[in-house]
């Protein structure tokens, strides 16, 4: 592992705190709705499967679920606490699967019509981008689309 990339445990610890202190207070906001509109412009259909990388406490997952009623949303986050909150918030949504995971080791037989990274890429060191995009390419269905949202494009350089 690159010396600049913190251990998975340190990253989990940070985002566990972030889930409880920040995300739980903010709820769904204009940014989440903007991401949904972008996904809809890609031709999101009711039967599509969506992979959400960095789902946090499930705000976007909850908005995605009714838009793919015959499809599925698979939402992954590195923070066990965030995933626990997301599962509780979206417990009535039958087409969402939440899981704890690091996308650098994500493996699934499933292919996805859409992959969304909501405010995630800027948190991943550039040294990890090749591996991340390789994982995305391995799991994207032919004709699929990737939606990357960066709240501040100037902040793409991870520190």
pLDDT digits (tens, 9 = 90+) for 54-89: 999 999 999 999 999 999 999 999 999 999 999 999
Nearest to 96 by CA among 140, 49, 56: 49
Query: pLDDT value at position 127?
Result: 86
- For residue 27, being part of any structural domain is answered with yes
- For residue 143, being part of any structural domain is answered with yes
What average pLDDT does the chain have?
Answer: 85
Query: pLDDT value at position 1?
Result: 47
Note the pTM of the prediction, 2 decimals: 0.82
- For residue 50, the enclosing domain spans 8-151
- For residue 1, being part of any structural domain is answered with no
Q: How many CB atoms lie within 10 A of CB 42?
A: 15
- For residue 3, being part of any structural domain is answered with no
Task: Label the pairing between strands 112-118 and 96-100.
Answer: unpaired
- For residue 73, being part of any structural domain is answered with yes
Residue 3 CA to chain centroid, in angstroms? Answer: 25
Count structural domains, the chain. 1
71/90 Cα distance (integer angstroms): 16
CATH number at residue 125: 3.40.50.150
Q: Indicate whether 28 pLDDT > 80.
A: no
- For residue 159, being part of any structural domain is answered with no
């Amino acid at each position: 592992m690159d010396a600049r990339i913190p251990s998975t445990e340190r990253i989990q610890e940070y985002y566990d705190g972030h889930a409880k202190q920040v995300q739980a207070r903010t709820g769904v906001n204009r940014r989440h709705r903007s991401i949904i509109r972008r996904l809809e412009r890609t031709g999101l259909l009711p039967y599509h499967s969506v992979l959400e990388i960095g789902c946090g406490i499930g705000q976007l997952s909850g908005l995605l679920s009714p838009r793919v009623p015959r499809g599925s949303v698979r939402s992954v986050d590195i923070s066990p606490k965030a995933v626990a909150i997301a599962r509780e918030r979206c417990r009535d949504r039958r087409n969402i699967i939440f899981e704890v995971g690091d996308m650098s080791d994500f493996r699934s037989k499933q292919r996805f019509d859409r992959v969304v990274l909501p405010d995630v890429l800027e948190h991943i060191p550039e040294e990890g981008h090749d591996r991340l995009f390789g994982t995305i390419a391995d799991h994207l269905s032919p004709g699929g689309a990737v939606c990357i949202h960066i709240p501040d494009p100037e902040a793409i350089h991870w520190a």
